[in-house]
Amino acid sequence: MSTRPLISVVDDDESVRESLPDLLNEFGFDAQAFSSAEEFLASDWLSQTSCLLLDVAMPGMTGPDLQQELKVRRQQIPIVFITAHHDETVRPHLLAQGAVECLFKPFTDTDLLHALNTALRP
């Protein structure tokens, strides 16, 4: 059983689901990828997740929808949003709702690591 923190990636984009877990492993985290918010909510990994890397725009339940749903379920998982829409007006809204960070794709590995470290700070 690993003691490394688990980072869950929720993104409908396959190349993100393929590439991010490897990078997260290189950072020293465990990683699980999910193609939708619904899939993540239904999984057993929810309770073990230390941080959520969450896409904003997805078919079905969106990233902000999942953020609200987790609030309702009183699941206090730190969330780092990742989005390909460079909309500066969305970011403050997401942060106000409690997100740790909102990264615009493509982001650098150091920006990601910095956001994760902030999220996992006790």
Partner 1 sequence: MDFSDPQRHADGMSRPKESFIPELGSVVDALPGLVWTALPDGHVDFVNQQWREYTGFSGDAWQMAIHPEDLPRLLECLRSSISTARACEAEVRMRRFDGEFRWFAVRANPITDASGTVIKCCGLNWDIEDRKRGEELLDLAQKAARAMAFDWYIQQKINAWSPEQEALYGLPPGTFDGTYESWKKLVHPDDWPGVVASLKHAQETGNISAEYRVVWPDGSIHWLSANGLMFFDDRGQPFRMVGFTADVTRRKQVEEELRRTRLELAHVARVMSLGALTASIAHEVNQPLSGIITNASTCMRMLEADPPNVEGARETVRRTIRDGHRASDVITRLRALFSKKQATTEVVELNQATREVIALTLSELQSNRVILKTELADDLPLVAGDRVQLQQVILNLLRNASDAMDSVDDRPRQLLIKTEQDADGGVRLSVQDTGVGFELEKMNKLFEAFYTTKKDGMGIGLSVSRSIIANHRGRLWASANDGPGATFSFSIPCDRTVRDN
User: Looking up tokens 């997401």, which residue turns up?
Assistant: 94
Rule CB under 8 A: choose which of 84, 95, 97, 117 binds partner 1.
Answer: 84
User: Looking up tokens 């003691």, which residue turns up?
Assistant: 3
Find out whether 43 and 34 touch, Cβ atoms under 8 Å.
yes
- Interface with partner 1, residue 87, by CB under 8 A: yes
Residue 51, strand partner residues? 7
Only segment of 36-44, 61-69, 70-78, 81-89 that touches partner 1 (CB under 8 A):
81-89
Rule CB under 8 A: choose which of 4, 18, 71, 75 binds partner 1.
Answer: 18
Backbone angles phi, psi at 113, to 5 degrees: -65, -40
- Interface with partner 1, residue 86, by CB under 8 A: yes
Return d(Cα 51, Cα 105) in angstroms, integer: 18
Rule CB under 8 A: choose which of 23, 41, 46, 61 binds partner 1.
Answer: 23
Q: Which residues bind partner 1 (CB under 8 A)?
A: 13, 15-16, 18-20, 22-23, 26, 82, 84-87, 104-109
